[in-house]
Each structure stands twice: as C-alpha cells, then as structure tokens.
C-alpha cells in the first residue's frame, strides 16, 4: 500500500486504540453499563436537577449543552456563568447531530427519558440518572463523579455525602423522639394553578418527616398530584410551604377560601428557598433544605442554626461561590439575584 495512504490509516488506528485503552465502563442509576472516556470533559445534561450535582463536583463548566435557562434558574446561571455559552434547548430533547458536532463525551438524562435511545444510536454515551431519596442521591453523585473522572470530582462526592450524612444525623438526634402530637402537619404545595401537592413516597415527604413534621397530604401517593381545595380544608395543615415559583397564597384564587386554615390564621405560610435549584426538590441543596425545614418546624430545638451562615458556607464549599449575606437572604426568600 502507498505509504502516503497508510500514514492516515495508522494514525486513525492509533487514535482509536488509545481511545479504547482509556475507555471505562460505568453503571448508571438504572443499571445500564455505559462505556465512557477516561474523563468526560464535554457534557450534555438533559435533567434540570442534575446540573446541581455536576456543579457540586466542580464540573459545572463541563456542561456544553443544557435544558436549563437563565430566566428559570437565575441563580444557577449566576453561580455557573459558563452555562450562558452552552447549547440550550427548549424542553428536554437535544439534537444528536448537534451534540456530536459539539464533541460531547457523555449525556445525562432523567429516568424514562424518551430520547435516550436516539442518543445511544448516535454513538453518544448516555447515562440515565434517578434519585428520589437521600441514599439514591448520594449514589447518583458518586456515579456522576465517576463519569467526570477526576480526583477532585470523586473527593467532592465523598465530601458532600459525608456532609449530608452529618446533617441528617444531627437533625434526627433532635427530632426522632418527637411524639406524633409534637409533629406539626405540613402541607407542601408545588403549584397553585392548578393546585398540586406532594404526598408520600417522595423526597418531600422524607424531609418533612426528618425535620419533625407530618405530611398533611400523606394520603396522596407521589409528587405533584392535583387535588381539590376541599382536601386542604379537610387536612387543616399547621404549616404550609409553597414551592418557589408557584406564587403566593395571598395572590392566588384560594386566598379567601383558605383564610380559615390554621396555618393561615397563625401566619405559618412560607415560600420554599430556591438557589441553584429549588431546595425542596431534586438537587444537592437538599442538604440545606433539611436544615431550613427543621429550623422552621422546631425553632426551639435548633436555636444555634443560622441559615444565612449555613447557606454561605455551603455555597462556598460545594459551588465555589462566595455568597454574601444579602444573596443568602434572597435565596432563603426564594428571590432572584439583584
């Protein structure tokens, strides 16, 4: 064969041989074995909440394709400004050709994502991520760190998991012995239009119980379930927590109807904090949520807990962002950055 023809072929063979030598296999959150590069330097993230895991690992700048937008997640884009340069899509579907053109090393998608097979057919390493409680969140973080493939990511995953375990243990030590009558009935409203709540078998139910409360919507199974306003009147919650972005009860269609509720009369209606991602749902800020909720439900049991300081410390440690006191207050009040 002509030497000039052989040289490119040898170069290509050497490249693919080297790539194969450095490839690794990782098991995703639903048991798929996925071959990934030694390091995933360019990542497409198709799950809104999963971005916070990558940022916690110090790998937020590796996201080159995103489903999030600054208008919906202003704190995420402020703390990780490189996201402004990422390929953004509306909805959750990436164009496979665009990801290949962007030289994406790995794609993360949520469970039951209809596009996962299309990404795989295009030859893109695709990992399905799923977590709905604290142990599965910790497992998912470790898996994500393995895909990122750096010592820093692995160390950060271990550090975060230790921090979360520490906070869970500290809260349990003060709430586990509470009698049922000492646990306030907490209603978590995810949406006011339509009226949706979070019931049992959810991460929300987990942190309500950990923080020393009872889920007022425990008869409902699952996340974001639409209910009638009459159900809320029947449940008579002691505390109402409204998800960030859901609006306020006072400005809703239910302001007059819910005026007789115990929680409303006693001024126990609260907006849930939201930073990189809403704290109450599926991100690493769940470690802050459990502390905020414990302080809210049982302030006398957590007199030394300063949520402004705790929030600032967390963002510095796990997001590498020097949050000031005013910014921490805005996050705790579910307000956008200035």
Mean of pLDDT over the chain: 93
The verdict on whether omega for the bond into residue 194 sits within 30 degrees of 0, i.e. cis, is yes
DSSP 270: E
> How confident is the model at residue 161, as a pLDDT?
98
For the chain, the domains span: 22-164, 177-332
Q: With bands split at pLDDT 50, 70 and 90, how would you rate the model's confidence at 75? A: very high
User: Do 331 and 274 contact (CB within 8 A), yes or no?
Assistant: yes
Q: Does domain 177-332 have CATH number 3.40.50.1980?
A: yes
pLDDT of residue 21: 43
Q: Does pLDDT of 42 surpass 80? A: yes
pLDDT at 285 over 80: yes
Confidence of residue 29 (pLDDT cuts 50, 70, 90): very high
Confidence of residue 22 (pLDDT cuts 50, 70, 90): low
What would the pLDDT profile of 202-244 be if each residue is shown by its tens digit? 999 999 999 999 999 999 999 999 999 999 999 999 999 999 9
* Residue 338 pLDDT level (bands cut at 50, 70, 90): confident
Does 22-164 match 177-332 in CATH topology?
yes
Examine the pLDDT at 193 and tell me if it is beyond 60.
yes
Quick one: pLDDT at residue 132? 84
pLDDT (0 to 100) of residue 139: 97
pLDDT confidence band for 13 (50 / 70 / 90): very low
2 confidence band (pLDDT: 50, 70, 90)? very low
Q: Judge whether residue 15 has pLDDT over 60.
A: no
| Mean pLDDT of all residues in 42-67 | 98
3-state secondary structure of 9: helix
Spatial CA neighbour of 331 closest among 316, 312, 318? 312
For a pLDDT cut of 70, what percent of the chain falls above it? 93
What is the band of 245 on the pLDDT scale with cuts at 50, 70, 90?
confident
Q: How many Cα atoms sit within 13 Å of 246 on the Cβ side?
A: 28
Alpha helices in the chain (DSSP H): 3-22, 51-56, 74-79, 96-101, 116-121, 134-148, 151-175, 203-210, 229-235, 262-265, 286-297, 307-319, 325-332
Q: Answer yes or no: is pLDDT of 18 > 50.
A: no
What is the pTM for the complete model shown?
0.91
Domain at 22-164, CATH from 3.30.379.10, 1.10.287.40, 3.40.50.1980, 3.10.20.600: 3.40.50.1980
């Amino acid at each position: 064969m002509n030497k000039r023809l052989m040289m490119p072929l040898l170069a290509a063979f050497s490249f693919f041989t080297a790539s194969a030598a450095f490839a690794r296999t990782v098991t995703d959150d639903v048991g798929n074995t996925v071959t990934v590069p030694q390091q995933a330097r360019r990542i497409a993230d198709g799950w809104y909440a999963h971005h916070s895991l990558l940022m916690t690992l110090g790998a937020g700048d590796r996201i080159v394709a995103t489903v999030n937008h600054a208008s919906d997640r202003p704190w995420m884009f402020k703390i990780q400004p490189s996201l402004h340069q990422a390929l953004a899509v509306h909805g959750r579907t990436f164009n496979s050709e665009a990801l290949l053109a962007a030289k994406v090393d790995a794609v993360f998608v949520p469970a039951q994502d209809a596009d996962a097979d299309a990404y795989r057919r295009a030859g893109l390493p695709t990992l399905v991520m799923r977590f709905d409680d604290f142990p599965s969140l910790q497992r998912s973080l470790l898996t994500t760190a393995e895909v990122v493939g750096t010592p820093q990511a692995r160390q950060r995953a271990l550090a975060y998991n230790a921090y979360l375990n520490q906070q869970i243990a500290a809260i349990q030590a003060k709430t586990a012995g509470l009698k049922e009558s000492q646990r306030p009935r907490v209603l978590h409203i995810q949406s006011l239009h339509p009226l949706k709540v979070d019931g049992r078998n959810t991460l929300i139910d987990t942190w309500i119980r950990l923080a020393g409360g009872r889920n007022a919507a425990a008869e409902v199974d699952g996340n974001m379930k639409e209910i009638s306003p009459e159900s809320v009147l029947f449940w008579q919650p002691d505390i109402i927590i409204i998800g960030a972005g859901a609006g306020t009860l006072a400005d809703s269609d239910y302001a007059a109807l819910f005026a007789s509720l115990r929680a409303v009369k006693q001024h126990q209606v609260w907006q849930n904090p939201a930073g990189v991602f809403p704290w109450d749902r599926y991100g690493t800020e769940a470690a802050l949520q459990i502390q905020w909720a414990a302080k809210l439900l049982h302030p006398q049991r957590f007199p030394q807990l300063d949520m402004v300081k705790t929030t600032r410390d967390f963002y510095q440690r796990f997001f590498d962002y020097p949050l000031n006191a005013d910014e921490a207050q805005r996050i705790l009040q579910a307000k956008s950055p200035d």
